[in-house]
């Protein structure tokens, strides 16, 4: 299969490329070349910005396209229209954030969708992200009717995750000492190793699968408490976990999800959606312990890459600093 990847070498994109190459496909990367430009030297590269350089894709044909970086419906629509006569199948990586809040536990792909007050906006923020992804899905389908696989991805984790949302807990538990955790053990939690997501998407592109699919895991429902226990067990670590009340954290300005990762204060419905459709289409999910081990093993290389402005995959971490954690633990102990 001749595959065009829009995106390329950052996190999910790099795992898509690796998975496609392992399956013997011919991969072309269309990206800006800003992240690890030397990765995958065996792949053809077309360097450009999709907002202004789609002409670079003219007079070329591919069997399938996987689009990992579509955020603005105008751009996604233009991309699909320009490629319509020259590709067979299009995978658009969307997000479970497309669902309207609140999301009912167990919601499937037919759940109500988020809508923007101003559908003309192209400013991507936490408030507009989900609604823009809805419009991107619609733009892709309009450009390539009946040929689009819409992948509503959940929390992606694994090696080379630039967000630090999962790696934070792996590093913190491995470091040991007193560890602040949110006292919300029953909070539902879903995640998927980006390599599992990539392998499933490549397989579905091969098969020409279309339609809408929630793509996350694990297979059985999980909670925050079970996940943190699983991370500690995989590391063989026994940190002194101090469970702090969510209200106490909120009062002190601690932001859930990013600053204190995996804690989803008020957004639990987004972490208990149905993945039955994807499982029926062959979704395979590796054990949590395997992801933890690989995340830990990749940290030295990730940190080395972060030292080079030309190759860095990693954004500056916004998760809880050690100093801030110590302040909060002291305040909690003194309450």
**Hey, where are the domains in the chain?**
2-158+191-215, 167-189+221-268+287-333
Helices (H), 84-217: 129-143, 167-175, 194-207
- The CA distance from 142 to 74, in Å, is 12
Query: Nearest Cα to 255, choosing from 153, 126, 157?
Result: 126
Beta bridge partners of 180: 242
| pLDDT for the residue 248 | 98
Beta bridge partners of 244: 182
User: Using omega within 30 degrees of 0 as the cis cutoff, is the peptide bond preceding 218 cis?
Assistant: yes
* 168 within 8 A of 319, measured Cβ to Cβ: yes
| pLDDT for the residue 307 | 64
- The CA distance from 233 to 60, in Å, is 50
| pLDDT for the residue 309 | 46
- Residue pointed to by tokens 């190459």: 21
Q: Which residues of the chain have pLDDT under 50?
A: 309-312
Q: Token pair for residue 292?
A: 């933890």
Interval 143-182: pLDDT, tens: 999 999 999 999 999 999 988 899 999 999 999 999 999 9
| pLDDT for the residue 36 | 79
Query: Nearest Cα to 292, choosing from 164, 192, 188, 158?
Result: 158
- The CA distance from 219 to 279, in Å, is 8
For the domain with range 2-158+191-215, which CATH number is right: 3.40.30.20, 3.40.50.720, 3.40.50.620, 3.40.50.1400?
A: 3.40.50.720
- The CA distance from 196 to 191, in Å, is 11
| pLDDT for the residue 311 | 45
């Amino acid at each position: 299969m001749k595959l065009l990847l829009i995106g390329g070498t950052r996190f999910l994109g790099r795992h898509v490329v690796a998975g496609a190459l392992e399956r013997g496909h011919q991969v072309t990367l269309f990206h800006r070349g800003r992240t690890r430009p030397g990765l995958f030297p065996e792949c053809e590269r077309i360097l450009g910005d999709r907002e202004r350089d789609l002409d670079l894709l003219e007079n070329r044909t591919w069997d399938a396209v996987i689009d990992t970086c579509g955020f603005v419906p105008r751009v996604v629509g233009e991309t699909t229209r320009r490629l319509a006569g020259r590709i067979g199948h299009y995978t658009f990586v969307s997000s479970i954030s497309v669902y309207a809040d609140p999301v009912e536990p167990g919601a499937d792909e037919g759940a109500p969708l988020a809508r923007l007050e101003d559908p003309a906006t192209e400013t991507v923020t936490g408030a507009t992200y989900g609604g823009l992804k809805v419009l991107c899905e619609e733009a892709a389908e309009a450009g390539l009717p009946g040929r689009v696989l819409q992948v509503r991805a959940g929390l992606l984790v694994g090696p080379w995750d630039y967000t630090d949302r999962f790696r934070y807990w792996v590093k913190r538990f491995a470091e040991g000492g007193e560890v602040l955790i949110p006292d919300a053990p029953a909070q539902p939690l879903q995640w998927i190793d980006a390599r599992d997501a990539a392998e499933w998407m490549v397989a579905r592109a091969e098969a020409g699968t279309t339609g809408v699919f929630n793509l996350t895991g694990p297979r059985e429902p999980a909670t925050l408490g079970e996940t943190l226990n699983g991370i500690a067990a995989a590391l063989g670590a026994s940190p002194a976990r101090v469970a702090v009340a969510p209200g106490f954290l909120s009062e002190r300005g601690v932001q859930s999800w990013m600053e204190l990762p995996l804690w989803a204060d008020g957004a639990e419905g987004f972490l208990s959606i149905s993945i039955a459709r994807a499982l029926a289409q062959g979704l395979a999910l590796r054990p949590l312990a395997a992801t933890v081990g690989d995340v830990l093993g990749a940290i030295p290389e990730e940190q080395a890459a972060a030292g080079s402005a030309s190759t860095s995959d990693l954004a500056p971490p916004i998760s809880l600093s050690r100093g801030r954690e110590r302040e909060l633990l002291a305040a909690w102990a003194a309450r």
